[in-house]
Amino acid sequence: MCGIVGYIGPKDAYPILIKGLHRLEYRGYDSAGVSLINQSGSLVVYKAKGKVAALEAAAEEKDISGTIGIAHTRWATHGEPNTTNAHPHYSQSHSLSLVHNGIIENYKTLRTELEKNGMTFQSETDTEVLVQLIEYLQTTHHCDLITAVHLALKNVIGAYAIAILDKRNPNQLIAARKGSPLVIGVGKGNETAAPGEAEFFLGSDATPIIEYTNQVIYLQDEEIALLNRNGKQLITNLESVQQTPQLVTLQMNLDELEKGGYAHFMLKEIFEQPNAIRNCLRGRIDRDTLSIKLKGVDESKDRLLTARRIIICACGTSWHAALIGKYFIEEAAKIPVDVEYASEFRYRNPVIDKDDVVIAISQSGETADTLAAIQLAQSHGCFVYGICNVVGSSIARATDSGTFIHVGPEIGVASTKAFTGQLVSLIMFGLALAKEKKTLSETLYHEIINDLTLIPEKMQQTLDNSKGIEQFAKIFTYCKNCIYLGRGYNYPVALEGALKLKEISYIHAEGYPAAEMKHGPIALVDEEMPVVVIAPRRGMYEKIVSNIQEIKSRNGRILSIVTEGDTQVKNMSDFCIEVPDTRDSFAPLLSVIPLQLLSYHIAVAKGRNVDQPRNLAKSVTVE
């Protein structure tokens, strides 16, 4: 939530900041703003309600010169999304400007104190308190800015990633973080750089930086960075003790951040799934011996094999992946698995044993609730295994071991390829454990792995089979409600299908285990209510056929996802999409694809902003 970009160096800052904001727009798009120290030494702030494009329009006639700046794209928490509440915020004297991602929980107390001392506020945000506090402390303590930042952050409760400009010192950029991510890019400068002149970038993730440098430092919690034009970078903790940062080489590819000819990132990401899953499997499946090699499991065998139970914590789509993971791990490795919403788990005093293993699943690796669930589990002595997409993310760093899903950057707010990558990672995890625990026969183990190697090709066939969806999606555009049904492994797919529809088309949808229909939702069924049924041939096929019958006899309209060659369900359906046959436990990897496409085409037909649906953000760094 909220994206931060920063730059100091020899180049013009504004284009770098704007491009960076576009890359981070998935994190929030309520408003955008930029602050620069321009050529004449003025500290300027330009902001606009809405997207980065609105900011560009607002800054069109303005002085956008300057080689140092900070910028922000907002997902509103405190204060409605308007220009006044947009970041950057000035300090009272307009000497400082600041951008912030996170929530300052004690902002009301701090604001009251500052107001008593004569400070006046322009916005309703928690962020403005920070910049005012820093200025107030600098004035009253007669200290330099970095000391005032240390003092201020010691008084703050909450989460923050911040970047600060000081008009009086155009040669330095200050940044700090706790709980919200911040990456520093160490650049190479250019031919206009004076001897010894360095350049630094800031980003909430590496996407605004990769174009210029692949050398980054992931700022750690409670670290404050002072980045100087002369190349000096000083990183200290809140106690002002100097830290030794680790320079990391990014493995990201710039092409992965472009739409590559697709109308939307979401569509591109849906179509990337066959390759994304190939990348996820690469180096982990030995095709000759048909065995799995997961470094994360190998390294932590002792803790994993003695686990009394596994608790999977996640949010959103990752939580749906967790439900499918539970079914698979229990079936293959015979370990009890509980699945928890991270936001519930962290606050409900759960019974946690030190011998439990917690798996945290997160695409972004930054979800605040999942991070807090990890901390809770670790405080009980649990071993925490992470399944993340973003390398270097907070969750990837906080967990004791883990697996990266390696599906490449996911930019569309609605998660697609990360979901299937998470499923494949959970399947590999379950298989690796099953092998060690000898809970599967050798033959079955090899058979399952062989089936897994066939999934990318079958995903491609599924995409090829799904061409007709665009046509009948138009018919669904007019519905107000929709029910998704599945059983066994496909019940969480029903939840995920319904979530996708809600997220991007704003049509109300519910996912249910098909047999639960009779306990309430069937009352909703009439000729206006489409019912999407996931009914592959394996699993509880006959049972679901009966469920479809029940809906048909109440005039419900059926859209079914069936196995290639199926006639029974197909004949009962108004619309039908075929997916290739696979084992029951792998069906979600295929059956979810038509549901992703269905939501996508409905949303497009309704003229929705598919990649940036209203009120949502891709990375939820506030609780």
Evaluate whether 6 touches 67 at the Cβ level (below 8 Å): no
Q: Which is nearer to ligand G6P, 150 or 417 (CB)?
A: 417
Q: Which helix (H) or strand (E) holds 44?
A: strand 43-49
Kindly state the smallest distance separating residue 412's Cβ from ligand G6P, in Å. Answer: 9
Q: Which is nearer to ligand G6P, 374 or 579 (CB)?
A: 374
- The span from the CA of 414 to the CA of 497, in Å, is 11
Q: Using CA atoms of 229, 39, 145, 185 in order, give the dihedral in degrees to the nearest 10.
A: -40
Give Dmax (Cα) for the chain. Answer: 81
Kindly state the smallest distance separating residue 585's Cβ from ligand G6P, in Å. Answer: 22
Kindly state the smallest distance separating residue 6's Cβ from ligand G6P, in Å. Answer: 23
- The span from the CA of 280 to the CA of 60, in Å, is 44
587-605 and 491-505 helices cross at what angle (nearest 10)? 20
Q: What is the DSSP letter of 18?
A: H
Kindly state the smallest distance separating residue 401's Cβ from ligand G6P, in Å. Answer: 18
One-letter amino acid at 586 equals F
Q: Which is nearer to ligand G6P, 189 or 408 (CB)?
A: 408
Q: Which is nearer to ligand G6P, 46 or 484 (CB)?
A: 484
Two tokens, residue 483:
């029910």
Kindly state the smallest distance separating residue 388's Cβ from ligand G6P, in Å. Answer: 8
Q: Which is nearer to ligand G6P, 300 or 367 (CB)?
A: 367
Question: Measuring CA to CA, which residue among 303, 590, 619, 277 is closest to residue 426?
Answer: 277
- The span from the CA of 593 to the CA of 580, in Å, is 12
Q: How many CB atoms within 10 Å of residue 142?
A: 8
Evaluate whether 204 touches 183 at the Cβ level (below 8 Å): yes
Residue of 47, 268, 417, 618 marked catalytic: 618
Kindly state the smallest distance separating residue 426's Cβ from ligand G6P, in Å. Answer: 13
Q: Which helix (H) or strand (E) holds 217?
A: strand 215-218
Evaluate whether 101 touches 49 at the Cβ level (below 8 Å): no
Two tokens, residue 10:
């020899």
Q: What is the DSSP letter of 370?
A: H
Residue of 2, 313, 388, 576 marked catalytic: 2
Q: Which is nearer to ligand G6P, 374 or 431 (CB)?
A: 374
Q: Which is nearer to ligand G6P, 279 or 291 (CB)?
A: 279
- The span from the CA of 321 to the CA of 426, in Å, is 8
One-letter amino acid at 38 equals N
Kindly state the smallest distance separating residue 415's Cβ from ligand G6P, in Å. Answer: 4
Q: Which helix (H) or strand (E) holds 291?
A: strand 291-292
DSSP characters for 560-603? Answer: EEEETT--HHHHH-SEEEEE----GGGHHHHHHHHHHHHHHHHH
Q: Which is nearer to ligand G6P, 475 or 616 (CB)?
A: 616
Q: Where are the alpha helices (DSSP H) in 346-416?
A: 368-379, 394-398
Kindly state the smallest distance separating residue 623's Cβ from ligand G6P, in Å. Answer: 12
Q: Which is nearer to ligand G6P, 265 or 445 (CB)?
A: 265
- Which residue is listed with tokens 């996640």? 314
What residue number has its CB nearest to ligand G6P? 316
- The span from the CA of 446 to the CA of 585, in Å, is 15
Rg (CA), the chain: 26
- The span from the CA of 60 to the CA of 64, in Å, is 8
Peptide bond connecting 10 to the previous residue in cis, omega within 30 degrees of 0: no
Q: Which is nearer to ligand G6P, 58 or 315 (CB)?
A: 315
- The span from the CA of 23 to the CA of 286, in Å, is 36
Q: Which is nearer to ligand G6P, 415 or 547 (CB)?
A: 415
Query: 348 CB contacts (<8 Å, ≥6 apart)?
Result: none
Kindly state the smallest distance separating residue 363's Cβ from ligand G6P, in Å. Answer: 4
- The span from the CA of 25 to the CA of 32, in Å, is 9
Kindly state the smallest distance separating residue 318's Cβ from ligand G6P, in Å. Answer: 4
2 is annotated as an active-site residue: yes
154 is annotated as an active-site residue: no
Evaluate whether 494 touches 511 at the Cβ level (below 8 Å): yes
Q: Which residues sit at the interface with ligand G6P, rule CB under 6 A?
A: 315-318, 362-364, 367, 370, 413-415, 616, 618, 620
Q: Which is nearer to ligand G6P, 499 or 529 (CB)?
A: 499
Kindly state the smallest distance separating residue 361's Cβ from ligand G6P, in Å. Answer: 7
Handedness of CA 57, 61, 66, 67 (dihedral sign): positive
Kindly state the smallest distance separating residue 126's Cβ from ligand G6P, in Å. Answer: 21
Evaluate whether 367 touches 620 at the Cβ level (below 8 Å): yes
316-333 and 417-437 helices cross at what angle (nearest 10)? 20
**Catalytic residue annotation:** 2, 618
